[in-house]
Amino acid sequence: MPACEASLWAGSAFLAQMSAKTRECLLSQSRMRSFDRGETVCLQGEAPSSLKVVLAGWAKCYRVSPQGEEAVLATLTNGDSFDEIAALNKRTCFASVEAVTDCALLFVNLDNIRPTHWAYGEINRAVLGIAADHMQKMMSELERMKVNTTTERLADYLVDMVEVRGKEGRIILPFEKVILASVLGMKPESLSRAFRALKKVGVHSHLKEVFVEDIERLRACKRCNPMFA
C-alpha cells in the first residue's frame, strides 16, 4: 500500500497492535474497495477470506431474523474492523454489513499469511483482543437497553456524539434516523417520541441535523429519571 495511504488505516485498533513487519506483510496482501451507499459489503453466512477495516464513511452491521426483521448490531466507521474471527478461522460471517454512506474499506486477505507462523501468532493475539473489545462494547449496549428508557438511550447517544463529533452542540447524524432507532433498540416511532421528550432540555432535530443547546443540562437531566418517564 502506498505510504501516502498510511494515514487512512492509522486509526485501526487491529493494525495498531501489529509489529511493523507483520503490518507490512498484512498490507501487502490487502486491497482497498469503495462502496456506494446501500451497497452490500458481505452477507451473513458467507465464508470470507479477508477481514475488513473501514477507512472512510459509515456501514451498518446487522442480522436478519427468520421472520425477516432486521436488527442493527453496530455502526462502523473509520478504523473499525469486522470479520476478524471468520477470516482467521475460516468460519462464516456472523452478520451482514451494508454501506449506509459512500465508504472505503480495506480488505486484508489472511489466506497467504496463515502459513507464516511468526505473523500468525501475532494476528491471533490481535484478533482475540479486538474480539474482547467487541464483546465488552456489546455487553455495555445490551445493559443500556435492559436498564435505560428509550429517551435515556437517545440522551446517552447524543452526549457521546456531541463530545466526539459535535461543534457548538450541532450534530449531523451520519445516517437516517430509522437506522439510529435500530441501533438504540427501538422502533422509529419510539425514537420520535424520545426526541420530543428531549425538547424539554433543549434538544432540537430536523431530519439528520440535531442541535443540543446545553450538553451539561442534558447530562444532568439524564440522571433525573422522572424527566424521561
pLDDT tens digits for range 60-105: 999 988 888 888 999 999 999 999 989 988 899 999 999 999 999 9
For residue 125, count other CB atoms closer than 10 A to its CB: 12
Domain 148-228 has CATH 1.10.10.10: yes
pLDDT over threshold 90, residue 205:
yes
Residue 55: CB atoms within 10 A of its CB come to: 22
Rounded Cα distance, 140 and 146, in Å: 10
Greater confidence, 214 or 163? 214
pLDDT tens column, 18-59: 888 888 888 888 899 999 999 999 999 999 989 999 999 999
Segments of the chain assigned to CATH 2.60.120.10: 3-145
List, for residues 130-188, the tens digit of each pLDDT value: 888 888 988 988 888 888 999 999 999 998 888 877 667 888 898 999 999 999 999 99
Q: Which of 157, 155, 150, 153 shows the shortest CA–CA distance to 200?
A: 155
The single-letter DSSP state of residue 43 is -
Beta strands in 6-100 (DSSP E): 30-35, 40-42, 50-56, 59-64, 70-76, 81-82, 96-99
Look up the CATH architecture of domain 3-145: Sandwich (2.60)
Helices (H) then strands (E): counts for the chain: 9, 11
CA distance between the termini of the chain: 52
